Amino acid sequence: MDDNSSRSLDLKEFLKGLKDYGVLMDKQEATALFLRFDRDGNGTIDFDEFLLTLREVVLQAFRKLDRTGDGVVTIEDLRGVYSPKHHPKFQNGEWSEEQVFRSFLDNFDSPNDKDGKVTSEEFLNYYCGVSASIDSDVYFILMMRSAWRL
């Protein structure tokens, strides 16, 4: 996206990059997204600003799950924000609601310490892996905002 190799993106490069990567959004919405990234308001997005914004979006999703606000997502936090009703194993009676919640948390939990509690660090680590598998960081943010309704 950095067409002029300045190690930052101006609005024109950002808009062109969105189009090049097939991200469909109107100019007003894209400009608002650009302004969110441009934390210092200098009209460009540098790498640090970009990473800070990515982290902020992931933490917004974490805070949405962490209903108690104690910095740890547990099964109790999930009640009311995640519904197990559509999980196939819940629908066929194989799993209880509790098992569906635990399976959901296990996705984010540390691989070597599946304790049913997910910290913000574990959540960030999970999404570091996810973002690495997505070609466009902008698309990653759009995916996060859509998936978590942020």
Q: Please give the DSSP secondary-structure letter assigned to residue 8.
A: E
Cα separation, 146 vs 138, in Å, equals 12
Start-to-end Cα distance in the chain: 25
CB neighbours of residue 38 within 10 Å: 21
Considering only residues 75 and 132, tell me which one the structure prediction assigns the higher pLDDT: 75
pLDDT at 104 over 80: yes
What separation in angstroms does the CA of 126 have from each of 12, 23, 78?
A: 32, 24, 18
Arithmetic mean of pLDDT over the chain: 89
For position 51, what pLDDT does the model report?
83
| Lowest-pLDDT range of 61-65, 102-106, 127-131 | 127-131
Q: What is the pLDDT of residues 25-76, one digit of tens each?
A: 889 989 998 998 899 999 999 988 988 888 888 899 999 999 999 999 999 9
Cα separation, 85 vs 76, in Å, equals 16
pLDDT at 19 over 90: no
β-sheet bridge partners, residue 67: none
Quickly name the fold that domain 10-24+41-138 has: Recoverin; domain 1 (1.10.238)
